């Protein structure tokens, strides 16, 4: 896992670099125009930077090997990154509201709109490129931290598009209140995104099962081996924590089988599961098929 984890850290560093560049461009765009919409866009980019730095930290923490105090590793650290980024998005939305409401009450003119829009367009292009790269990497490596960062950046792209359109419309129509109104719309949009990220992170901390498609692959393996060897299975339990998957099951074998025979088959089945379920750690328990006690431990709490 060390190789993939180092790769994930490099993607997180890409996000940090993109955030720094877009902050500089958007702050310059706001400074030139005085647009509260562009200011709201710059504030969200500050959140992008904080989220990217947190994702980098959590990815490094999750890459630490298991130890005596953390025998299953620290892969759940990614959920803290995703949840905290959702919280930062909510904070950014509140800051946007705080800056937009006074402008709604007392509108201010926008200066040099063309140049400000140009800088904002370049910043959006940087964010879009980084987001697409991070989203692909997040899906490939099953990293919720990278995927959350990517979705935040994509939200920033759509936010910037709305702000750019708003600034352009203000310049064309002269309706100054349109600028803070669009900023408030941006705040509502990113608030929704932050809430979804936080909800997904909380769900991940509650040990959900692995995706249904992966559970179906395991079931197919069980059916295949049941037909070939006359064995059966129960107590299949799965969970995922960040990039890691955990799969446990009970293998019921004929009473006459030797321990070595049953163990060899269990190892083969576990290997098959690991080949189909990415980043899976497997645990099997062998039981005699005809003994009554073999069926007493199907529930989690017996």
Name the percent of the chain lying above pLDDT 90.
21
Task: Answer for the pair 108, 176: CB distance below 8 angstroms, yes or no.
Answer: yes
- Comparing 265 with 53, the larger pLDDT belongs to 265
What ranges in 142-258 are assigned the alpha helix state H?
A: 144-173, 178-205, 212-229
Give tens-digit pLDDT for 117-143. 787 788 888 888 988 998 888 878 777
Give tens-digit pLDDT for 189-236. 778 877 877 887 777 777 888 889 999 999 999 999 999 999 999 999
What distance in Å separates the CA atoms of residue 167 and residue 123, rounded to the nearest whole number? 15
What distance in Å separates the CA atoms of residue 256 and residue 236, rounded to the nearest whole number? 24
Task: Answer for the pair 250, 284: CB distance below 8 angstroms, yes or no.
Answer: yes
Whether 89 shows a pLDDT value over 60: the answer reads: yes
Whether 3 shows a pLDDT value over 60: the answer reads: no
Q: Domain segments of the chain: what residues?
A: 2-205, 212-295
User: Running DSSP on this structure, what letter comes out for residue 302?
Assistant: -
> Please, what is the end-to-end C-alpha distance for the chain in angstroms?
34
Whether 1 shows a pLDDT value over 60: the answer reads: no
| Count of residues making up the chain | 302
Once rounded to an integer, what is the mean pLDDT over residues 154-172? Answer: 74
Q: Which of 21, 253, 17, 3 is nearest to 134 (CA)?
A: 17
pLDDT of residue 115: 72
Of 3.30.70.1350, 3.40.50.2020, 3.40.50.300, 3.90.1640.10, the CATH number of 212-295 is 3.30.70.1350
- Second-level CATH architecture of 2-205: Up-down Bundle (1.20)
Task: Answer for the pair 130, 10: CB distance below 8 angstroms, yes or no.
Answer: no
Choose from 15-19, 131-135, 181-185, 219-223 the range with maximum mean pLDDT.
Answer: 219-223
Task: Give the chain's mean pLDDT.
Answer: 81
For the entire predicted model, the pTM comes to 0.64
pLDDT category at 110 given cuts 50, 70, 90 is: low
- Comparing 122 with 2, the larger pLDDT belongs to 122
């Amino acid at each position: 896992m060390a190789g993939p984890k180092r790769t994930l850290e490099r993607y997180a560093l890409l996000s940090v670099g993109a955030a720094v560049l877009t902050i500089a461009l958007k702050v310059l765009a706001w400074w030139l125009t005085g647009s509260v919409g562009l200011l709201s866009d710059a504030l969200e980019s500050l959140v992008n930077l904080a989220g990217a730095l947190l994702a980098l930290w959590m990815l490094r923490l999750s890459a630490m090997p298991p130890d005596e105090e953390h025998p299953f590793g620290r892969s759940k650290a990614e959920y803290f990154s995703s949840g905290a980024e959702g919280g930062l998005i909510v904070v950014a939305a509140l800051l946007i509201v705080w800056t937009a409401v006074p402008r709604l009450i007392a509108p201010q003119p926008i200066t040099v709109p063309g140049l400000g829009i140009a800088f904002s367009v370049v910043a959006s292009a940087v964010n879009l490129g980084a987001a697409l790269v991070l989203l692909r990497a997040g899906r490939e490596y099953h990293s919720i931290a990278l995927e959350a960062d990517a979705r935040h950046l994509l939200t920033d792209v759509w936010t910037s598009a709305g702000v750019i359109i708003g600034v352009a419309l203000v310049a064309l129509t002269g309706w100054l209140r349109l600028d803070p109104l669009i900023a408030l719309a941006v705040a509502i949009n990113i608030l929704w995104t932050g809430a979804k990220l936080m909800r997904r992170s909380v769900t991940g901390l509650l040990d959900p099962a692995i995706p249904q498609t992966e559970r179906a692959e395991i079931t197919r393996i069980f059916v295949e081996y049941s037909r070939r060897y006359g064995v059966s299975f129960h107590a299949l339990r799965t969970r995922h924590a960040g990039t890691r998957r955990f799969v446990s099951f009970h293998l019921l074998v004929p009473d006459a089988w030797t321990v070595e025979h049953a163990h060899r088959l269990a190892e083969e089945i576990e290997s098959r599961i690991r080949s189909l379920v990415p980043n899976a750690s497997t645990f099997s328990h062998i039981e005699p098929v005809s003994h009554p006690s073999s069926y007493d431990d199907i529930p989690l709490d017996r």
